[in-house]
Structure 1
Amino acid sequence: MHDVLLGFTTIAAVIAVGYGIAAVKLLDERAQTVLTRLSFFVASPCLLFVVMSETDVAGFLSRNLVATAAGVAVAAIPYILVATLVQRRRPDETAIGAMCSAYCNAGNLGLPVAAYVLGDAALIAPMLLLQLGVLQPIALMVLDAGREGARRTRAEAFWRAARLPFTNPLTVATLLGLAISLTGLRVPDLVMEPVGLIGGLAVPGVLIAYGISLRLGPMPGRGVPAVELGFVTFLKLVVQPLGAYAAGRLLGVDDVALLALTVTAALPSAQNIFVHATRFGRAELLARDAIFVTTIGSVPAITVITLLVA
């Protein structure tokens, strides 16, 4: 557990660096935009390619994946229903909120949590593959569609939606990484080394941009209604872990996998949600505040889950 807390502390420290940089006016909103764009178009695709190409795709077809998907569904669907039927939100804004409610920080915090709490980094694979291979492309499709205001026929809208995921750098990188993993091909070190080096910029770049936004924008909790932020946090840290646990029990997964499913579902909202929100100009404050609150809240949540389920 010490290593998990160290992981959270490290993230907080990098965010604090971004906050301090903005506080002394070394960087401003324009720098935040540059960091976000660099992460979205260059660094994050490189990171995703490396992670996916080195992941065992066999986990994608296991009962763990089904239970993971169930946890995501029970957290995302209530938000989608409330945002659509009650709040009358735009689909792209709803997509950001749904991601805040059910899209875990599997690539950053998930790996150390799986390694140090669960004892096997591969246990994060079902969540990572589900998010990068399914949830992220769907969310990006909705966000891309919301950015286009021109009217189209149904056929035109369908074909545009069908090809949008394949024009997004994050999705393309994910698919390429999956192809490498499935075929067993070995990427030459001459290619993988620089790609990995560039990918290393993704997480600190996003965290520093996030810290800048904390200093220059409204403080967390002041830009988003407390009821909505509380609802998202409840879905993320309570409903999703309970859903994954219940599904795992019903499917008869072993105790180690059950703990992995529950702990993984309790990870905070992923930082790259903020990248997407900033990139598409939709629900940025909700993404920022949800990441902030769930990151803090996930520490006691994971601690309690580990003590009870283990």
Structure 2
Amino acid sequence: MLGILTGFAIILAIIFVGYLLSRTGIIGDDRQRLVLNRVAFYAATPALLFHVVATSDPANLFSPVIAVTFLATALTALLFCVVSAIFFRRDIPTTAMGAASAAYVNSNNIGLPVSIYVLGTGAFVAPVLVLQLVVFSPLMLGALSVDGGSAAADGGAPDRHSSRAKILTVIKNSLFSPIVLASVAGLVVSLARWEVPDPVMAPVEILGGASIPMILLSFGASLTSTTVLDSVADRPSVLTATGIKLVGMPLIAWLLGLAFGLSTEGLYAAVILAALPTAQNVYNYAATYRKGEVVARDSVFLTTFTALPVMLIIALLFGR
């Protein structure tokens, strides 16, 4: 239980500091707040991800628990997209942020202490982080790069050359973003079992340490300018993403774990990982691209505050 409480205490305390900085005018407006997101996106987060992935054990990538987590993430995101398409159709970036909010777990600043103190090992966190960043982040960033237009400006048929150019731009933006490049570079270092010299890795580690605090400070500062669930248009997406994240994803992970024949320990690990709240990275991506920002922000807020009792219930159900 201590790991769960520690992880949530870290996040909530820094969010509160960001809120206070905004309320007192030290962070004056959205332009100042978004500087934190941009620095995190283009510098600090890539450094953090390179360090985490490069120093991870590649053998952990092939754990059955990680396979279950990967499939649970994909199925959860798909579930949100299906529900959204049937009941409240939104543009591609907003839908992508809703799917990410439902499936992209906070595997770092909450996942790490939870994994160490609750599961007894940090071995599961790095592989989950790698899979999310190498597989799912490019998809999110690609969706955020879509402008939503599919037809020509005059209302006629779409221009094939223009459509092709847009697709290539989306692929380029997603694959060559600093987040993805750093994750892939770290994966190469990990798989090759190279050891990066300390004069190189130490500055990377220090810069990466600024990532999560900056994202959380910006998140807290954003809470003074708006109210959670204030947007009527985004409310269905937010509530659906939150419900699926808190209940749907752990249930999907549990069913997959049973199908994969996981041990009790492995099943508990998979369900706990699935119950982690939405990662702040989802909000950082949305805030950087200024698309689907409300859905990401509100979902992160709600899941961060409500995941704790869900995880405590899971622990009790497994007799922990």
Same-fold call, TM cutoff 0.5: yes
Alignment coverage as a number of residue pairs: 309
**Residue in 1 aligned with 2:310?**
301
**1:148: how far off?**
8.9
Kept in 1: contact 2:37–2:284 (CA 8 A) = yes
**Residue in 2 aligned with 1:113?**
114
**Residue in 1 aligned with 2:5?**
5
The farther-off stretch of 176-185 and 252-261 is: 252-261
Q: How is 1:220-235 mapped onto 2 (pairs within 5 angstroms)? A: 220-224=228-232, 226-235=235-244
Kept in 1: contact 2:92–2:146 (CA 8 A) = no
Q: 1:152 to 1:189 in 2, by over 3 A?
A: farther
2:255 is the counterpart of 1:255: no
**Residue in 1 aligned with 2:156?**
none
- Name the aligned partner's letter for residue 82 of structure 1: V
- What CA deviation, in whole Å up to 9, does each residue of 1:56-114 have, x standing for no partner? 22232332232112321332112112323432211111111100010000021111100
Q: TM-score, normalised by structure 1?
A: 0.94
SS at match of 1:146: coil
- What CA deviation, in whole Å up to 9, does each residue of 1:172-223 have, x standing for no partner? 000000000000111010010001101011000000000110012x111223
The CA distance in 1 between the partners of 2:102 and 2:94, in whole Å, is 13
- What CA deviation, in whole Å up to 9, does each residue of 1:156-187 have, x standing for no partner? 44544443333200000000000000001110
The CA distance in 1 between the partners of 2:47 and 2:144, in whole Å, is 21
2:84 is the counterpart of 1:83: yes
The farther-off stretch of 257-266 and 149-158 is: 149-158
- Name the aligned partner's letter for residue 94 of structure 1: T
The CA distance in 1 between the partners of 2:23 and 2:166, in whole Å, is 44
The CA distance in 2 between the partners of 1:105 and 1:273, in whole Å, is 9
Kept in 2: contact 1:74–1:239 (CA 8 A) = no
The CA distance in 2 between the partners of 1:22 and 1:158, in whole Å, is 39
**Residue in 2 aligned with 1:37?**
38
Q: How is 1:12-91 mapped onto 2 (pairs within 5 angstroms)? A: 12-28=12-28, 29-91=30-92
2:210 is the counterpart of 1:201: yes
Kept in 1: contact 2:7–2:111 (CA 8 A) = no
The CA distance in 2 between the partners of 1:168 and 1:77, in whole Å, is 24
Kept in 1: contact 2:101–2:300 (CA 8 A) = yes
**1:226: how far off?**
4.5
- Name the aligned partner's letter for residue 190 of structure 1: P
> Any runs of at least 4 consecutive aligned residues in structure 1 with deviations exceeding 6 A, and if so which?
147-150
**Residue in 1 aligned with 2:155?**
none
SS at match of 2:124: helix
- Name the aligned partner's letter for residue 69 of structure 2: T
Q: How is 1:168-187 mapped onto 2 (pairs within 5 angstroms)? A: 168-187=177-196
Aligned match for 1:281, one of 273, 290, 300: 290
The CA distance in 2 between the partners of 1:76 and 1:162, in whole Å, is 20
**1:260: how far off?**
0.8
The farther-off stretch of 298-307 and 78-87 is: 78-87
Q: 1:57 to 1:152 in 2, by over 3 A?
A: farther
Aligned match for 1:291, one of 268, 277, 300: 300
- What CA deviation, in whole Å up to 9, does each residue of 1:5-30 have, x standing for no partner? 12211211111111111111111222
SS at match of 2:224: helix
The farther-off stretch of 281-290 and 12-21 is: 281-290
Kept in 1: contact 2:81–2:99 (CA 8 A) = yes
The CA distance in 1 between the partners of 2:74 and 2:184, in whole Å, is 23
Q: 1:227 to 1:143 in 2, by over 3 A?
A: closer
**Residue in 2 aligned with 1:237?**
246
SS at match of 2:278: coil
**1:309: how far off?**
2.4
SS at match of 1:27: coil
- Name the aligned partner's letter for residue 137 of structure 1: P
- Name the aligned partner's letter for residue 4 of structure 2: V
Kept in 1: contact 2:98–2:238 (CA 8 A) = no
- Name the aligned partner's letter for residue 52 of structure 1: V
CA-based RMSD of the aligned residues comes to 1.9
As a proportion of its length, which structure holds more helix?
1
Identity rate, percent: 36
Q: TM-score, normalised by structure 2?
A: 0.91
Kept in 2: contact 1:46–1:195 (CA 8 A) = yes
Kept in 1: contact 2:88–2:236 (CA 8 A) = no
